[in-house]
Amino acid sequence: MSRIRIKIAGESGAGLLSAGEIVTRALKNMGFYIVADREYPSLIKAICGSCFRINASTEEIFSLDEEIDIMLTINRSSMYEYFDDLKKGSVWVHGYERLSGINDLLKKAEKRGVREVHSYAREIAFANGGSILMINMVLIGMLWKAMGFEYKYIASEVKEQFKSKPVLLAIDLKCLKAGYDSAEKQLEFAKPKKKTKTILLNGNKALALGGIHAGVRAYFAYPMSPSSSILTYFANYARKTGCVVKQAEDEITVANMTLGAMHMGTRALAATSGGGFDLMTETVSLAGIIETPLVLIIAQRPGPGTGLPTWTAQGDLNLAIFSSHGEFPKVVIAVSNPTDCFDLIQHALNIAEKYQCVVIVLTEKVIAETNSTVPPFKQKKIPIERGLVTGKALQKLKNSDRYKITKNGISKRWLPGKSKAYYFANGDEHWEDGSLTEEAKESGEMYAKRVRKIETIRKALPEPEIIGPKKAKISFVGWGNSKNVMLDIVQKNKDVNYLHFNYVWPLRENLLKKFFANNKNVNLIECNATGQFGSLVEAAVHQKFKKKLLKANGRPFFTEDVENFIKKNK
C-alpha cells in the first residue's frame, strides 16, 4: 500500500489527542507525507464522537480518504460509534477486556472479514505500573506493531511528548513496549526510501507565522473556534517578536482595535469565525469610508447560529463579500493549506495597505486544524509594501492629498504626526481633506473615487490557477479547501483538471472564460449547500455548470466524494 489510512477513536479526555499527535509525528519522522485532522464534538467532554484521522504516504498527498485501513478504538462507545467504518480486510485494534459486552461487534467483524488485534490493555497498563490513563500507550504500541513498523520510531515520539515528566515517561515506555510486544503484524506498507524535507503544521499556525513574518506587531481577538489557536500562536511568539497580543471582551472591540492600530501605523491583524465577524461589520464599513487598511480572518464553520462549531464549511463567502453597509472596495482571499496560509496572509496585508482597503482572508476548520507536511516556507520572498508616503515627500504633502480625487481611486496615505499636513478620518462623507460634506457634487465624486478602486484592484490581482491539463474530459472550479482534494484527484487522473481561485473577490474573469471555452464538462466543487461561488462564476461567464458537487454536513470533501462524482458524470 502507498497510502496508510488510520483512524484513532475515543472519548475526549481519554488520551485521544496525544495518541494521534504521537502517531502522526512518528510517521512524519519516518519520512512519510502526512495529512491528519481531528474530528470532535463541540461539547468539552463527550461520551463518543471524537476521532483522529491520519493519512500517510510515500508520495505527496493533500487530502484525506474516507476509507480506512486500520482503526484503533480506545473505549467501548467509540467501538459502536465507528465500527461501520471497518471494511473487509481492514484491521481493528482495541484493548477492551469485557469481550462478552461487545460480542455482537466481534461477530460482525468476523463476518465482514475484519482482522482483530486485541490485548487486555488495562491489565497490561496496571502490570507495568501505569494507570487507566496509560491505556492509550498500550494501544499505540499495539497499533504500531500491527502496521509492521519498528518500535524505535514510536518510542522516540513518546519520549519527545513526555520528556518534561521523566517519572511518568518511564512508565509510559513500559506500557508502550508491552503493547507492542503483545500484538502481531497485520499490514504491509511501503516505507519511504529517504526522509522528506518537510515541516508539519496546521493552517492556523501558518497564518500566525506568515503574519509575524509580514511585520504584524499587534494581534487582537476574542476566542471563537476554529480561529482560537491563532491567538495562542501569536501569544507564544509575542515575547520574541515584540508583538502586542490582546484578548478583547468582544469582536466589536477587536475590530476597532485592529482598525485603530492600522490607522496609527502598526501592522495589525484579527481573526474570528462567522458569528464573530457579524459583529465586526460596522467597523468594516468604517474602514471602507476612511480608506484605512484592515485585514480580518474568518475561520469558517457551519452556521447559521452556533451551527456546528467544531466542524467545517465554505458557507461564509457571501458574508465576506457582501457584508457591511454601503459600497466600497473589498478583497476576499481564500487559503487552502499551510503554504497558502503563510504566503497569502502576507499578500493580504500588502494589498490592504497598498490600496487602502479591507481584505478578508477566508480559511476553514479543516484547514485551520489539519496538520499536513509541506516544504519549508520560503522566507523574505514577499517584500513588505506599506503604501505610505515617507521621507522628504512628507514635507510636500497638503491636507487635501489624503482623499484626493484620482483616476485609479488611490490617494496618498501617511501616518498621523509624520507630516505637518493633517486630515480628518471619520465615518461621515467628506471631501479631500476629510472635512465633512453633504453637497451632491463632492459626495458623488468621493463615492465614485472609492468605487473606482474596485477595478484598479481587480486588474492587479493574480489570475486563478489551472491544476492539470488545460483541457480535460471533466473539469472543476473551486476555492479554499477544495484545492487539496482536487490535487490528489488530478495527480491520479489525467482526464481531470481544476481551476482554483485564491483571490476570490473581485472576481478575475479572463482565464475563467477561457477555461469554460476550452472545457465542455465544467463542474463546481464547493463545501456548502447553495454553491455561493458558483453563482458568482455563472454570472460572470453567462454559462451554467454541468453539475454541482456540494457538501454541507460539516465534513470536508474526501477523495471518494470526487471519485464517485467523476464516475457518474464523466
Query: Which domains are delineated in the chain?
Result: 3-182 (3.40.920.10), 200-374 (3.40.50.970), 391-460 (no CATH), 465-569 (3.40.50.920)
Q: Give dist(CA 37, CA 238) in Å, integer.
A: 27
pLDDT of residue 352: 98
Contact yes or no for 486/557 (Cβ under 8 A): no
- Tens of pLDDT, residues 52-98: 999 999 999 999 999 999 999 999 989 999 999 999 999 999 999 99
Pick from 187, 197, 190: nearest CA to 57: 190
Low-confidence ranges of the chain (pLDDT < 70): 1, 44-48
Number of Cα atoms under 13 Å in the Cβ half of residue 538 = 14
Could you tell me if 464 and 500 are in contact, meaning their C-beta atoms sit under 8 angstroms apart? yes
Of residues 210, 343, 230, 214, the one with CA closest to residue 267: 214
Q: What would the grid cell of residue 361 be? A: 482572508
What integer pLDDT is reported at residue 47 of this predicted model? 54
Task: Please tell me the distance from the alpha carbon of residue 475 to that of residue 515, in angstroms, as a whole number.
Answer: 9
Place of cell 482483530: 116
Q: What is the dihedral of CA 534, 537, 541, 543, to 10 degrees?
A: 0
Cβ-in-10-Å burial (0-12, 13-18, 19+) of 416 comes to exposed
The predicted pLDDT at position 11 comes to 82
pLDDT at 45: 55
Angle in degrees, CA 76, 158, 169, rounded to 5: 95
Q: From 71, 110, 67, select the one nearest 94 (Cα to Cα).
A: 71
Q: What is the full DSSP assignment across 438-470?
A: --HHHHHHHHHHHHHHHHHHHHHSPPPEEES-S
Nearest-angstrom CA–CA distance, 501 and 507? 9
Q: What is the pLDDT of residues 493-535, one digit of tens each?
A: 999 999 999 999 999 999 999 999 999 999 999 999 999 999 9
Positive or negative torsion for Cα 469, 471, 473, 477: positive
Do residues 38 and 102 make contact, with C-beta atoms less than 8 angstroms apart?
no
